Structure 1
Amino acid sequence: MDGTIQENPISTHGGCHQITFIEDPGSFSYDSFFHNHLVLNAPCLFSAKFTESWGSRKNWVTADKKPDWDHLLQNYGGAVVPVANCDVKEYNSNPKDQIPLREYICYWRDYSERRRRQPDQGCRYLKDWHMLREFPDHDVYNTPEYFSSDWLNEYWDAIDGDDYRFVYMGPAGSWTPFHADVFRSYSWSANICGRKKWLLFPPGQEEHLRDHRGSLAYDVTSPLLQDLRLYPKSHLRCLAIEVIQEAGQVIFVPSGWHHQVHNLEDTISINHNWVNGCNVAVMWRFLQAELEAIHVEIGEWRETMDDWDAHCQVIMKSCTGIDYTEFYVFLKMIAENRLRDLQRAPADATPGGSCTMRPAGHHTMRPGGPQHNVFDINKVLEVLTLMTRNEDFQKLDKESLSPPPRDLMKRLQVVIAEHTET
């Protein structure tokens, strides 16, 4: 295979977690990815064959497989990009500055060629650059079909808001501290050049990686984790799945898997965060936990503050990027898009077939297909059902929810019944 995978077994309740390597695009279907990785929330690594046609792999990389700084400067040098200082810890992350890409590449080139740290700059890492949003017409990459059921970017593109598509660039030694992704979403990350080391932990293991104050570990490789006075549960943690990701390879990180990432060489990567029907319930649980944490944080003002619940929603929106009202709007838009798609293409992929759900485990999923649309509608309905039973959701201003959730749910129930075999 192109890359190296350290399949350290992770024992949880007697089981083991390992990562699958996907070699050949021609023999791996979306249906296989859907059932074996999205539904099961299991990581995998795709070979460099899956990205060999990308423009960025041809144009952003020199003949000796290094970043083509001249090409990047010529085409994107004036772009303002977020750059983190990896040597400074700030709220379990790294502080960022906004600087022109040409300034960052000047630093990066000097850092990499001299192999010495700038005393006043530290190790700097370009992170979370919304490159595709700024340069939509450039031939950079095509999202693999395995990751195409992407509700987050479908929604934020429609409202002309932020997106969750990023470019990362950094020298050897740059890294991202231990974390889980936004909304506990899925993520995929493709190396355009360079190598990364990933340390992956399945959901729940992060609870063993908290200090005595309850704060998540910043660096899971730190010897401080051996001190049980500081990290009283660290001896219960599993071994990380360690993955060495080579140039061109794509890693899939499932929902809620905490991870830490180190660049072993000068590295450029493209990354997406996304949610779909397989993990939207995870996103809903995350939002509930975030709101509960806010309730605890400002609970002392509950009896004295007017519209306390509304204030909690405002705080939640500022901290997470979404509140309960917008989450409902998000689900409504996805549902309406799928209903419209079903109306446009009512027939199944098989000749003469009807768009009905086959018995569980027997239907074939394809992106945008009728089976997938019905699946998505079903998952929206499941989460809406949970939301309407939630006390905090019930306190929202009903005028802000149009159509009323119950009306939308009835509509979805009718469509599901029409497309489900008895």
Structure 2
Amino acid sequence: MLAGSFTIYCEFQIQCREGSKGGGNAKVPVAICNEKEFDSHPKVEQTFSDYLEYWQDYISNSYPSDNQCLYLKDWHFVRAFPEYNAYKTPLYFCSDWLNEFWDTGESSKDDYRFVYMGPKGSWTPFHADVLHSYSWSANICGKKQWLLFPPGEEVHLRDKFGNLAFDVTSEDVHNPEMYPNYQKLSQQYKVVQHPGEIIFVPSGWHHQVWNVEDTISINHNWLNGCSIDLTWNFLKRNLKDVENEISDCRGMEGWNQQCQVVLKSLTGSDYTDFFELCNNIGTKHLQFLSQSDICSTNEECDRGVGHCKIKGSQKEEQKEMTGNTSAEVSQHPNADLEFQEHFVPLNNKCHSVFDLNRLRIVLESLVDTEQLECQKEVQNLLHQLNSVF
């Protein structure tokens, strides 16, 4: 899960008042770490220069416990400064459907690339990442401490009302009357992340993070063909929960649509959004393959550094991992991809075939879903995918 001593290509130099290219006047989201609002910290908006001034004062006063501990987090830096090119995405994380979707066409309103910076003692409460996506976090400077819990362990960190713990290190979780299943907790991992290191958080792993020192980090949420089924299953589980909660209204007109509205409010996506992402990615892969010679049926293809080997026929996915050496990695054709160039499969036809097959499997489940209004579009894309295989 750790990429030790990884040098992220970065010229992320912060200037206190002016910032880069007017960045000092940028509006940034700031969390108040010593307050609680529902299941997170309340947020306020400040200018970047005001936050840096606060941070300097906070350090100068030896991190006073009676002052607010403010954490600049979830700052869409790349979206705010698209020409700055502060860093390059590490090769292993370049196949990124989520940000590719948001970066293109009418969807270019958002992204899941963030800058975090905060003083010693700032922290993020216990949670799992949006849409059960993967995430990676690179420390530019400073040190973080992570507590990570494999999928399933979080059920032992729910209170008697079913709510996740806000702080898994608090004394409250040891109270059996409030957290009756805490004693069943069996697995957790403590990781200290140093400057220049990247941590990869797998799908569905709950975690809590502290800044042990004054820290600046870059964080991405992402998904691709290796995890699209995990996101789809996450949405299905949440929709089932929504349907159970409002089952007394099932006979009312528009019930399915209302369930989708609630689903989106809880997870950040509904079924239509999910299909739009699939359609966006699938269409690009199909266009690429239409201009390339697809692997022959018996040809074994390596879909890239550290990924599964696959057959061109795609009738079965082999789980043998490639054994590329560091020399092979350095010679990989995509090694110098810029941050925005996360569409790695366009340089690897077998990678595209793998991704399309994973997409096809998900769409076969999605096509019969009565909650989806764009059934014809799903059927059309699925027909095109089936023609490849």
Shorter-chain TM-score tier:
0.7 to 0.9
Structure 2 distance, partners of 1:325, 1:203, is 26
What residue in structure 1 maps to residue 99 of structure 2?
A: 153
**Which ranges in structure 2 are unaligned for 5 or more consecutive residues?**
302-310, 325-331, 333-343
Q: Quick one: which of 148, 160, 169 aligns to 1:200?
A: 148
Structure 1 distance, partners of 2:249, 2:193, is 48
Paired residue secondary structure (1:55): coil
Structure 2 distance, partners of 1:412, 1:77, is 48
What residue in structure 1 maps to residue 386 of structure 2?
A: 413
What residue in structure 2 maps to residue 55 of structure 1?
A: 11
Give the direction of change, closer, same or farther, for the CA distance of 1:286–1:74 in structure 2 (3 Å limit). same
Instruction: Give 1:356 shift.
Output: 2.6
Paired residue secondary structure (1:48): coil
Q: Does residue 1:115 correspond to 2:67, yes or no?
A: no
- Aligned residue pairs total 353
Structure 2 distance, partners of 1:353, 1:242, is 39
Instruction: Give 1:162 shift.
Output: 0.9
Paired residue secondary structure (1:396): coil
**Alpha carbons 2:30, 2:45 under 8 Å: kept:** yes
- Scaled by the length of structure 1, the TM-score of the pair is 0.78
Paired residue secondary structure (1:127): strand
What residue in structure 1 maps to residue 2 of structure 2?
A: 45
Identity %: 44
What residue in structure 1 maps to residue 284 of structure 2?
A: 337
Instruction: Give 1:71 shift.
Output: 6.8
Structure 2 distance, partners of 1:353, 1:84, is 49
The CA deviation string for residues 342-398 of structure 1, in whole angstroms up to 9 with x for no partner, is: 2233266xxx99993587256969842111101110111111112234xxx32433x
Instruction: Give 1:118 shift.
Output: 7.6
Structure 2 distance, partners of 1:210, 1:222, is 13
**Alpha carbons 1:82, 1:126 under 8 Å: kept:** yes
Give the direction of change, closer, same or farther, for the CA distance of 1:362–1:232 in structure 2 (3 Å limit). closer
Q: Quick one: which of 244, 254, 257 aligns to 1:296?
A: 244
The CA deviation string for residues 84-106 of structure 1, in whole angstroms up to 9 with x for no partner, is: 11111112111111211111111
Q: Does residue 1:176 correspond to 2:110, yes or no?
A: no
Shifted more, 289-298 versus 253-262: the winner is: 289-298
RMSD between superposed Cα atoms in Å: 2.5
- What pairs up with 1:301-380 in 2 under 5 angstroms? 301-303=249-251, 305-346=252-293, 356-357=312-313, 360-361=318-319, 367-368=344-345, 369-380=348-359
What residue in structure 1 maps to residue 159 of structure 2?
A: 211
**Alpha carbons 1:228, 1:234 under 8 Å: kept:** yes
Structure 2 distance, partners of 1:394, 1:181, is 27
**Alpha carbons 2:360, 2:385 under 8 Å: kept:** yes
Instruction: Give 1:74 shift.
Output: 7.1
Q: Does residue 1:394 correspond to 2:370, yes or no?
A: yes
Paired residue secondary structure (2:382): helix
Structure 2 distance, partners of 1:357, 1:245, is 41
**Alpha carbons 1:73, 1:102 under 8 Å: kept:** no
Q: AA paired with 1:208?
A: H
What residue in structure 2 maps to residue 240 of structure 1?
A: 188
What residue in structure 1 maps to residue 339 of structure 2?
A: none
What residue in structure 1 maps to residue 215 of structure 2?
A: 267
What residue in structure 2 maps to residue 87 of structure 1?
A: 34
Q: Does residue 1:188 correspond to 2:164, yes or no?
A: no
- What pairs up with 1:60-75 in 2 under 5 angstroms? 60=14, 69=16, 72=19, 75=22
